[in-house]
């Protein structure tokens, strides 16, 4: 158990010193997550310290988006942001979340046998309800994977880690295809699409569904070329008949030529 450093703040703004750090939960691209306890009420919480090391102009854009979106959302299948607190310096920012006991990546790793179909139906229903809520509010998650799905002892599935999430609208703006962890990335992203919306989340859900059924990922390559090859091996090579617009994707011709070269 570690006490966070005390800091003087304006009235109404809470300090990280109001919390006790209990354990380290994990570390991602955009932050380090701890299990903690709120001294005020004794509640157990999850505390995410935002990584600021490489930022010269203040808080990272990904974190600003995450905070903005989480403050807008309220749904039983979306993790709740309780508050934003600060540390001993202006560049120490922490997000305080409700604490959820498990994530699905760990559950799959430690589960000695596949989940029952009835369990998977329950998981998938909650996942789809959470995503339906996001998409109905024009939000795409863009990083759905088993480790970003939390599961409480009371049986609730919660979407978490909105570091890559963003709003979308129509007409669809150009946005980077370099999103979503590789094993869960939609083929149009692997082929360089810069105009996309909620469909990339739906693909990720299909990958998660398959992983829950099998106990291992549907496609688990080490690079983008091998990942798209595994997808094509699983579903067949695409063409304009089964995938209208395929040939207009930035990297489609290059990928097809590459695969034909090695046949």
Same domain, yes or no: 77 and 46? yes
Say if residue 66 is in the same domain as residue 123: no
Domain that holds residue 234: 102-261
Judge whether 246 and 239 are in contact, CB under 8 Å: yes
Query: 56 labelled as ligand-binding?
Result: no
Look at residues 66, 98, 130 and tell me which one is the last residue of a structural domain. Answer: 98
Same domain, 89 and 107: no
What does the pLDDT profile of the chain (263 residues) look like in tens digits? 555 555 444 456 799 999 999 999 987 666 789 999 999 999 999 999 987 765 556 667 778 888 999 999 999 999 999 999 998 876 789 999 999 999 999 999 888 777 999 999 999 999 999 999 999 999 999 999 999 999 999 999 999 999 899 998 765 566 666 667 899 999 999 999 888 889 999 999 999 999 999 999 999 999 999 999 999 999 998 989 999 999 889 888 888 777 766 55
Instruction: Let me know whether 135 and 25 are in one domain.
Output: no
Q: Which of 103, 143, 161, 201 is catalytic?
A: 143
Same domain, yes or no: 123 and 173: yes
- Is the domain of 58 the same as that of 146? no
What CATH number is associated with residue 193? Answer: 1.10.510.10
Domain shared by 155 and 255, yes or no = yes
Query: Are 84 and 145 within one domain?
Result: no
The answer to whether 166 and 225 have CB atoms below 8 angstroms apart is: no
Q: Is the domain of 113 the same as that of 200? A: yes
Let me know if 143 is a catalytic residue.
Answer: yes
Number of domains comprising the chain: 2
210 CB burial (10 A radius; 0-12, 13-18, 19+): middle
Residues 118 and 93 in one domain: no
Q: Residues 116, 155: one domain?
A: yes
At 54 the pLDDT is 59
Report how far residue 185's alpha carbon sits from residue 203's, in angstroms, rounded to the nearest whole number: 7
Residues 74 and 181 in one domain: no
What global pTM score does this model have? 0.86
The residue length of the chain stands at: 263
Domain end, chosen from 98, 121, 153, is at 98
């Amino acid at each position: 158990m570690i006490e966070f450093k005390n800091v003087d703040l304006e009235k109404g703004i809470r300090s990280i010193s109001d919390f006790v750090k209990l354990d380290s939960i994990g570390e991602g691209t955009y932050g380090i997550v701890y299990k903690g306890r709120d001294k005020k009420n004794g509640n157990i919480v999850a505390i995410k310290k935002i990584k600021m090391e490489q930022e010269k102009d203040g808080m990272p854009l990904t974190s600003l988006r995450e905070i903005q979106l989480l403050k807008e959302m309220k749904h039983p299948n979306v993790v709740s942001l309780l508050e934003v607190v600060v540390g001993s310096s202006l560049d120490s920012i922490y997000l305080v979340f409700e604490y959820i006991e498990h994530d699905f990546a760990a559950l799959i790793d430690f589960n000695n046998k596949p989940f029952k179909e009835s369990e998977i139906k329950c998981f998938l229903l909650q996942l789809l309800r959470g995503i339906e809520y996001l998409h109905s509010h024009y939000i795409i998650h863009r990083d759905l994977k088993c480790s970003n799905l939390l599961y409480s002892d009371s049986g609730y599935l919660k979407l978490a880690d909105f570091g890559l999430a963003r709003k979308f609208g129509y007409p669809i703006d150009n946005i980077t295809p370099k999103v979503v962890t590789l094993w869960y990335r939609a083929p149009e992203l692997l082929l360089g699409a810069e105009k996309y919306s909620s469909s990339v989340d739906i693909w990720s859900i299909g990958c998660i569904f398959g992983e829950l059924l099998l106990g291992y990922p549907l496609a688990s390559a080490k690079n983008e070329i091998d990942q798209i090859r595994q997808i094509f091996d699983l579903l067949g090579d695409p063409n304009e008949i089964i995938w209208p617009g395929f040939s207009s994707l930035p990297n489609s011709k290059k990928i097809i030529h590459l695969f034909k070269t090695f046949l």
